[in-house]
Amino acid sequence: MKHTRIIPLLLAFVSLAALNGCKCACTTPTARTAPGPVVDLQEITVKQLRQGYLEGRFTVVEVVQNYLNRIEAIDRNGPALNAVVAVNPDALKTAAELDAELMAGRPRGPLHGIPVLLKDNIDTADPMPTTAGATVLRASYARTDSWVAKKLREAGAVILGKTNLSEWANFRASYSSSGWSGVGGQTRNPYVLDRNPCGSSSGSGAAVAASLCALAIGTETNGSIVCPATNNGIVGIKPTVGLVSRSGIIPISFTQDTAGPMARTVEDAAVCLGALAGIDPADAKTAAAQGHLHADYTPFLRADGLKGKRIGLMKNLMGYHYRVDDLTEQAAIFLRGQGAEVIEVEGPREGPIENDSFQVMLYEFKDGLNRYFAGLDGATPVRDLAGLIEFNKKDPVELRWFDQKLLEQAQEKGGLDAAEYRKALEAMLKAARDEGIDKLMDEHRLDALMAPTGAPAWKTDRIDGDHFTGSSSSLAAIAGYPSVTVPMGFVEELPVNVSFFGRAWSEPLLLEIAYAYEQGTRHRRPPKYIVTD
């Protein structure tokens, strides 16, 4: 890119006094320790953190404090990414408890001492609100942990804070700027600051890319993990719907919603996925995961994992950017060089499938959001979707930039017993599964499908909204099938990814392919926080 400059980051000299000026939606941690050593956290992996703890090179408290310093330097000041909306006041207390457990020889699990940021539509029992980016929920504090938060704690993770998102996970307006919310404002892309981080897991993607955490959790209905992953040059896993419980997550679609890991490496994402997977009686979809889930996905990571694989290159999901097409062809050449067969295939037209999916989302959003509101305490000023629409009309922030057409369309729908809903649900699942991914893979005897995840990040525009030119998320998202996206290269200074997706419960196979590709190409590189003149 022409006429650029790079913001220098003097992280070693960030003071604790600066932390006290944090502008997050919640208070900063009240517990403080001496500054201690500066830990080099840029690009550090879960394995490296765990090894450092075991060797006594740093403590969990020191790592958490250094991440808090980094958030203050990069997210609040410096480039001002605006990715983190709240830091956890209990983070340092939790870190001290984990240090004590480690000293006593009682590590909790594979994420012991690993700081994780959660998208702000995921409930935690910490003193942080769960807002979905909406001002109506600014004072909404969950009484209990979501499944995701509970499983992370059981694995030993430190919940470091909450990340900004596209408000209501980008299911609100007729057009929007991804990464904007009434609570958090606009998140910026750490590679080129006037570019968009994509959404709706915008803050999670930007935070991982900038090493503001070791891991982050995003959620996806259609594209909200994989698109922020490609725009921010990181790894994202959208699991099979049902592998990770959605209980305690503000919903859009019971049929399509899932949470998933966002990380800088496939290995880190795989470790996190194992911690999150499980069967939860509070989420009926997880019953289908019986016999398909794994507590540890790292045994499937093999550097020679491409040998003998048959992978279908989805040609109909290309053609929207010639430089992305060039990178995709280079990826296919690499796969062939590692012993894989890459077969060019054409998938089903996504237009009719997406139309049915949209109708399903309208119905399920109304039903799910009304249920979520009904479970909240009296601190929330509205009790249902109709009340939310009226609240927004009177709020000075909510309709400043964007409308609420999707909320209004959802409110017009009936219940889940409506014939229109049942017909759309049946049609979309048949088209995306039986006549889509499953048929395509059967006909060509494929292990996986691949396509570029999306185009390079566009310039953020709150007047005209997002400028998508193409993506490949819809087929797997609508089917409820898994997808793994991994860095594929750069267009100038903007990262782009390739996605590997396939049948339900094929996470082990997809991770094997993605890991082998990642290890053989090493496209990931940290952002430079470029400002364009």
Predicted local distance difference test score (pLDDT) of residue 7? 36
pLDDT band at 350 (very low <50, low <70, confident <90, very high): confident
Residue 28 reports pLDDT greater than 60: no
Asked if the model's pLDDT at residue 502 lies above 60, the reply is yes
What is the pLDDT, as a whole number, of residue 37?
Answer: 82
Rounded Cα distance, 511 and 514, in Å = 5
**Range list of H helices, 167-297:** 202-209, 226-231, 266-276
Supply φ then ψ for residue 163, to 5 degrees. Answer: -110, 150
Amino acid making up residue 5: R
Question: What pLDDT band is residue 22 in, cutting at 50, 70 and 90?
Answer: very low
483 among known catalytic residues = no
Identify whether 140 is a catalytic site residue.
Answer: no
The answer, yes or no, to whether residue 15 has pLDDT greater than 90, is no
Q: What is the number of structural domains in the chain?
A: 1
In angstroms, rounded to a whole number, what is the distance separating the alpha carbons of residues 419 and 97? Answer: 53
494-501 β-sheet, strand order: 84-87, 158-163, 115-119, 215-220, 258-263, 235-238, 483-491, 494-501, 448-452, 310-314, 341-345
Q: How many whole angstroms separate alpha carbon 197 and alpha carbon 188?
A: 6
Q: Which residues contact 449 (CB under 8 A, 6 or more apart)?
A: 311, 312, 313, 314, 345, 347, 437, 440, 441, 500, 501, 502
Which residue among the candidates 181, 201, 224, 506 is catalytic per the annotation?
A: 224
CA 344 from chain centre, in angstroms, equals: 29
- Per-residue pLDDT averaged across 405-434, rounded? 98
Joined together, the tokens standing for residue 25 give 């939606």
**Is the pLDDT score of 5 beyond 80?**
no
For the segment 63-67, the average pLDDT, to the nearest whole number, is 98
Comparing CA positions, the residue from 368, 350, 360, 371 lying closest to residue 421 is 360
Task: List pLDDT tens digits, range 230-247.
Answer: 999 999 999 999 999 999
Domain CATH code at residue 460: 3.90.1300.10
pLDDT mean over 466-494: 97
Q: What is the pLDDT of residues 118-143, one digit of tens each?
A: 999 999 999 999 999 999 999 999 99
**Helices assigned H by DSSP within 131-211:** 147-154, 202-209
Catalytic residue among 177, 178, 181, 200: 200
Q: Clarify whether 119 is annotated catalytic.
A: yes
CA pair distance 89, 270, nearest whole angstrom: 28
Nearest of 162, 180, 182, 10 to residue 87 by alpha carbon: 162
| The residue to which tokens 């894989």 are assigned | 340
Write down the pLDDT at residue 35: 53
**pLDDT value at 17 more than 60:** no
Indicate the average pLDDT of the chain.
Answer: 93
What's the pLDDT at 362? 98
Residue 378: pLDDT band by 50, 70, 90 thresholds? confident
pLDDT at 2 over 50: no
Strand-pair category, 84-87 with 158-163: antiparallel
Reply yes or no on whether the pLDDT at 94 is more than 50.
yes
Reported as a single tens digit per residue, the pLDDT across 446-468 is: 999 999 999 999 999 999 999 99
* Mean pLDDT, range 245-267, rounded to an integer: 98
Confidence of residue 352 (pLDDT cuts 50, 70, 90): very high
Per-residue model confidence (pLDDT) at position 12: 29
Q: Mean pLDDT throughout 30-37? A: 49
Q: Which residue segment(s) compose the domain that 314 sits in?
A: 1-533
Give the pLDDT confidence score for residue 377 in this predicted structure.
79
User: What gap in Å lies between CA 401 and CA 378, rounded to an integer?
Assistant: 29
Coil vs helix vs strand at 284 = helix
- In which residue are the tokens 């709020």 written? 395
Confidence of residue 344 (pLDDT cuts 50, 70, 90): very high
pLDDT at residue 33 in the model: 41
